[in-house]
Structure 1
Amino acid sequence: MAEAANSIDPDEVAKFEAMAAEWWDPNGKFKPLHMLNPCRLDYLTGQIATQFNRDLTGTRPFEGLRLLDIGCGGGLLSEPMARLGADVVGADAASGNIPVAQLHAEQSGLEIDYRCCAAEDLAAAGETFDVVLAMEIIEHVSHPQGFADTISQLLKPGGVMICSTLNRNPKSYMMAIFGAERVMRWLPVGTHEWSKFITPDELYELSRKAGLLPVDRRGMVFNPLSWRWSLSERDLSVNYAIAAVKP
């Protein structure tokens, strides 16, 4: 349980706790995630379907899969995963997020197991999952390698982790911090710390050291002309995601 105490950064939790009530406001502080969500879901569903040989044209293609959404927030990803048939556990260390997520799921007629806990708590309890989502969270933890190790412990053999984060370079600073926080005011100033951003090669290495096999990585690129996000095989310069499986 010592590792559980180490993985959570209380200052980072407090940032999101303060914004909890705005999770489902598409024009509020989480507007960037609402804009990004279709792109994220495109990547998630594709990787999960590939790993488990599921047909996405079906009504509930993820039926029978147990999925963990770490840092679930208000449930922006947990809810679509539940609609696709997955048995979803949404975990968040910010206690204020959980009632928001529970209420919205109830209003949407969805059964999702939301819990205020750390990933390490679930691992210590011996819980395992077919899919673990760690979207926009690893740049907010205090020990990324310990976090990756915990995800590996939570995955069943043959399971897949999908993790998204921000690259660390001058462009990501200009786009994600100066642009998104200070110019566009999409996020409160101080939401991100550039020094905590992780390069794709670093995330691959974290995954390998945790006993996972990276199988894919894609960039998520914002087009200011179309005002839309899209997946890119080449441009991982700012937002990106990787998929890694547990042998």
Structure 2
Amino acid sequence: MVDVFDEVEEQLRSDRYKTLALKALPWLGALTVAVVIGVGGYWGWTAYQAKQSAAASEAYQAALETMGREGTAKGFPAMQAIAKGGAPGYRALALMHMGGIRLDEGKTAEAVAYFDEAAKLSHDPVLGDLARLKSAFALMDTASFKDIEARLTPLAGEKSPYRVKAKEALAFAKLQAGDTKGAREDFTVLANLLDNPSEEVRQRAQAAIQLIDSGSAANLAATVKAAIALPPAPAMPALSQTAPAGAQ
């Protein structure tokens, strides 16, 4: 009798599993279809981004060649076309070129607007912070110290790729504002900064300290500001917009 009951229980269990399997089958099928669609959509979007980035790369290189061959008057519209659409990284680079052109023409407000737009558009901290630094430099002679300080202080943090440039610019901004004590303190830090990658920055800081101490720093800020060279925009390889954020 025990064997009979065991056989009946096993049969009932088997029938119950079959019923559950039949009920779950449509859900499993739907899940499989969703996974296939999701994977296909991801690869489709990736391919689209790669195509857009490749087109933006070619257009950017062509615009650079146009600027080199025909000058900024012809190069500006080419950069403007890139800035209006395409991969965000190349749009940011184009905006920075446009800002540089307008700055050379003495149109500071327009240049700052382009730099600020590039900073907002870029997801790359190296490119974004460079745009912010260029914007701050463009305003050094016209904006208040408070405005300059607000722009430069975040760029002077230890994790910023342009912290040394930002600290130097902030020191000269203090000097322009008449804060010789604060400027001297900043220059002293720059002169003794262990991770200072530029010997020129160290030499300028030491020279600034000597001029401040001698009382000859009245015209130092304007003179040395012209000697501070901003780093060029980083080269952007083709298809970089499709790479993962960590890889970039």
The interval holding the TM-score normalised by the smaller chain is under 0.3
- Structure in which a larger fraction of residues adopt strand: 1
Structure with larger Rg: 2
From the two aligned structures, give the one with the greater helix fraction.
Answer: 2
